Structure 1
Amino acid sequence: MDPPTSHELLFFSLFSLLILNSAQAICVPRNSAPTWDLSPSPNYPQPPASTPAPETSQPSVSTPASKEIQSDSISSQGNDASVLSVSNPASQSTLQTTPTPPTKSAMSFLSNMVKSVPLLNQNSDPALKKICDSTDYPDVCLSAVVPKLGGKNDLPSVIEMAIKAASEYTKVAVDTATKLASNPGIPPKMASIINDIRDSYSDALDNYNEAMEALQKHDVGTMNSMLSAAITDFSDCDDDLAGQSSPLLEFNGKLRKMTSNCLAIVSLIQQ
């Protein structure tokens, strides 16, 4: 066999190179990842990867319902609050410690007296008006006696009605003092003071009764003594309430004026 020529060797070398390159292109290292496309065939489309829905895409259908629920909740809370406020112990304790205002009978008595003054000044009997003008508080005199006189204007009748009016208003003061002293929230010391004041009012009532009896006997001296004692009783009440705030102070001032008028009218008998 003839030895190969140089052309044959060259051809063989080129052929070997081509074979080696093809083998390297086909062979894939064992541990290397494949580089070809592994996507599924068109007949089996891959579902799109799920992405988190943006917050703005959340439905707002439940918003009105939530508002209604919230509104109902607020409404029910308001109703509950109104119920609780009635039985709130704190509010009850506040009511207990608050001084009791004058009773309805006291307010009605004062209101009627105040409202009647202008009309009484215009329509009063001249003789009656002359009697009341002799007192220190003519308006108080007219408003106290005119509704009770029934057309009478003689001096004994005016004195009697003036004392009766003062006595009735003192009874209203006694009722108010009793309610104040029995208030569960009042301090014991203040309750004791009010009880003493109530006793002074009771003494004044006794003095009025004795003055009425003296009027029937035409005993002017006893009338003066009893009415003066009643004024002292009311002044003692003011001393007991010194530095305090109490509706009883208004009673004391009014009763002193009414009793002072009684004394002034009694003094007309002696003239």
Structure 2
Amino acid sequence: MAFSNKKSTILFIFAAALSSLLSLINVEATSRELQGAAAAQRSEEVDPTLKRLCFSAEFPHECASAVVPFMESGGTINAQSVLQAGLKLLAQRCLKAIEQAEKLKKESKSKEMTDQLNFCEDQYRTIGNSTKQAAEALPAREFNKLESQLGSMVTAINECEAVFPSGKSPIRDVNLMLKMAVKNNLNIGNFVAMPIIINT
């Protein structure tokens, strides 16, 4: 009789554990479904013209998501307005890059590392100045100047990364975010210089 009660208790505990596990699986599955639905909704909310412009960029998903907060509310969406937003994004990332370099310098215990970070910080300031000049060239339709300023930014980022031994850069992610913004701006800039009709 005691064995029977013990067996019933074990079966009850097993059933309860199985029920909890199934509930957990259902919750995780529901969570994934909700996340997928939210992502799909965000994708659908992106303006069709912005989608088509960003599709031509080297990093389309970065273009479509990152420039949206910098777009003028209710403004016309075209290559020029997207590029204006992209330059604002780039200016913000330059400031964050400088902040990150300053933070790493304070934490650094190596003079060599400090010197490398100082060099990169100078490059970031150069990129910031070039961003201002590019922003001024855009409404003036000085496309050669615009392309030149953006092209020089890629060089500056590469030179920063090159001062560190291969795979040892402490600001590799910062440089990647900058380079993504610069290259996308270069791509969108081509549409500003050579306008095309993009159907919505």
Class of the TM-score when normalised by the shorter of the 2 chains: 0.7 to 0.9
SS of 2:118's equivalent in the other structure is helix
Task: Find the aligned partners of 2:103 and 2:39 in 1 and give their Cα distance.
Answer: 30
Structure 2 segments unaligned to the other structure (5+ residues): 1-37, 195-200
Contact 1:145/1:161, CA 8 A, preserved across alignment: yes
Structure 1 segments unaligned to the other structure (5+ residues): 1-115
SS of 1:242's equivalent in the other structure is coil
Structure 2 partner of 1:224: 147
Give the alignment of 1:114-263 within 5 angstroms.
Answer: 119-149=41-71, 150-152=73-75, 153-183=77-107, 185-243=108-166, 245-263=168-186
Give the alignment of 1:3-82 within 5 angstroms.
Answer: none
Give the number of the structure whose alpha-carbon radius of gyration is greater.
1
Seq. identity, % = 26
Contact 1:117/1:139, CA 8 A, preserved across alignment: no
Task: Find the aligned partners of 1:155 and 1:244 in 2 and give their Cα distance.
Answer: 36
**TM-align CA RMSD:** 1.8
1:138-181: CA deviations, max 9, x gaps? 11101221122124312221110001101101110100101211
Q: Which amino acid aligns with 2:173?
A: E
1:210-248: CA deviations, max 9, x gaps? 100101211111000000111111111110123353441
Structure 1 partner of 2:23: none
Task: Find the aligned partners of 1:154 and 1:130 in 2 and give their Cα distance.
Answer: 10
| TM-score normalised to structure 1 length | 0.54
Task: Find the aligned partners of 2:39 and 2:147 in 1 and give their Cα distance.
Answer: 27
Q: Which amino acid aligns with 1:123?
A: E
Aligned residues: 155
Bigger proportion of residues as helix: 2
Indicate how the Cα distance of structure 1 residues 204 and 229 shifts in structure 2: closer, same or farther if over 3 A, else same: same
Contact 2:161/2:169, CA 8 A, preserved across alignment: no
Q: Which amino acid aligns with 2:109?
A: I
